[in-house]
C-alpha cells in the first residue's frame, strides 16, 4: 500500500534543531514542544497539504531526551506534564489540514550510550552533536526497563487516543504507531551475519515493543517498525516492517 506522505522527524528554525524535543519537556529543563510553536508547525503542515501530502511521519521520544519522567534508576516512570499537550496540539494541527500521522515512538539512537553521535540540521546540513549525557539502552536491554516503558509510557499513550480513550476524537489522525526508527542499526551481528538467528538483541526488542491489534488496547491504528537498510530485509520475519524509499 502506498500513501503520499513525507518524513517530518524534526524541524529547525535556523537556530535550534528540534530533534526529539517536539513532545514534552527536555532533559535540559526547557519546554519547546509543539504547543509552544503552533504557528510555525501549522505553516509547515499547510504547505504539506497544498502539495497533496496525506501522511506525515513524526518522531515522538526519539533518543529519550523529552516527554518522559525517569525514576532514580533511570527507568521510565511516566509521561511528563507537557507530553499530551504537545501530542494533542500536533494531532489537532494535522486534523485541520486532513493529514494523518505516523507517530515514531523511539529512534535507534535510544540505544546509544557512550557513543559519539551527530545529527544533520535539516535546513543547512550542518552536523551537530546529539549525544545525551546518559544513554537509554538499559531500558530496552532489561526486562524491568521494557516493562516500565510499556506500562508507564506507551500503553497510557495508546489508550489515550484509542477507542474509548480520553482523546479518541484525535485518534483518527493516527495512521500508525512505529515503535522504533531503524532498529537494525543497533544489531552489530548483521555486520557479519544477515541471518535472522543472529539478531537476538533486535528480536528481544521487537517482540516486546510490537503488539498486534490487541483488543485490550483497542488500537484504531496500525503498528509498524521502520528499517533503514534494504540489505537486511531477508533477515526480518516481522509482517509489520516497512522500508522507506
Q: Residue 239: what pLDDT?
A: 43
- Alpha carbons 133 and 124: distance in angstroms, whole number: 25
Low-confidence residues in the chain, pLDDT < 50? 115, 190, 193-215, 227-245
Q: What is the pLDDT of residue 128?
A: 65
Q: Are the CB atoms for 232 and 241 separated by under 8 Å?
A: no
Cα separation, 223 vs 229, in Å, equals: 19
Q: Is residue 176 within 8 Å of 213, Cβ to Cβ?
A: no
Torsion of CA 223, 224, 225, 229, to 10 degrees: 180
Q: 200: exposed, middle or buried (C-beta count within 10 Å: 0-12, 13-18, 19+)?
A: exposed
User: Helices (H) and strands (E) in the chain — how many of each?
Assistant: 7, 10
What pTM, to 2 d.p., does this model score? Answer: 0.78
All residues at 6 or more sequence positions from 141 whose CB lies less than 8 Å from its CB, including other chains: 111, 201
For 38-75, write each residue's pLDDT tens digit.
999 999 999 999 999 999 999 999 989 899 999 999 99
At residue 120, the pLDDT reads: 63
Q: What is the pLDDT of residue 134?
A: 66
**pLDDT at position 232:** 44
Provide the sign of the torsion angle of the four alpha carbons 203, 207, 209, 212, taken in this order.
positive
pLDDT in tens, 187-212: 655 455 444 444 444 444 444 444 44
Amino acid at each position: 500500500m502506498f500513501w503520499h506522505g513525507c518524513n517530518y522527524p524534526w524541524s529547525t528554525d535556523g537556530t535550534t534543531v528540534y530533534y526529539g524535543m517536539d513532545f514534552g519537556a527536555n532533559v535540559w529543563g526547557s519546554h519547546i514542544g509543539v504547543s509552544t510553536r503552533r504557528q510555525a508547525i501549522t505553516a509547515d503542515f499547510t504547505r504539506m497539504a497544498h502539495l497533496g501530502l496525506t501522511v506525515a511521519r513524526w518522531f515522538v521520544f526519539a533518543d529519550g531526551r523529552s516527554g518522559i519522567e525517569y525514576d532514580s534508576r533511570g527507568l521510565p516512570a511516566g509521561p511528563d506534564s507537557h507530553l499530551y499537550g504537545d501530542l494533542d496540539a500536533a494531532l489537532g494541527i494535522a486534523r485541520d489540514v486532513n493529514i494523518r500521522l505516523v507517530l515514531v515512538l523511539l529512534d535507534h539512537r535510544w540505544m546509544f550510550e557512550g557513543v559519539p553521535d551527530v545529527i544533520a540540521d535539516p535546513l543547512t546540513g550542518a552536523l551537530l552533536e546529539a549525544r545525551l549525557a546518559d544513554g537509554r539502552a538499559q531500558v530496552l536491554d532489561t526486562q524491568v526497563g521494557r516493562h516500565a516503558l510499556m506500562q508507564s509510557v506507551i500503553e497510557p499513550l495508546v489508550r489515550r487516543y484509542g477507542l474509548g480513550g480520553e482523546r479518541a476524537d484525535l485518534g483518527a489522525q493516527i495512521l500508525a504507531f512505529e515503535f522504533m526508527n531503524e532498529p537494525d542499526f543497533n544489531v552489530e551481528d548483521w555486520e557479519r551475519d544477515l541471518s535472522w538467528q543472529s539478531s537476538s538483541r533486535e528480536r528481544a526488542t521487537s517482540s516486546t515493543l510490537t503488539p498486534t491489534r490487541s483488543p485490550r488496547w483497542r488500537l484504531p491504528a496500525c503498528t509498524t517498525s521502520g528499517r533503514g537498510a534494504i540489505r537486511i530485509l531477508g533477515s526480518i520475519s516481522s509482517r509489520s516492517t516497512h522500508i522507506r524509499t
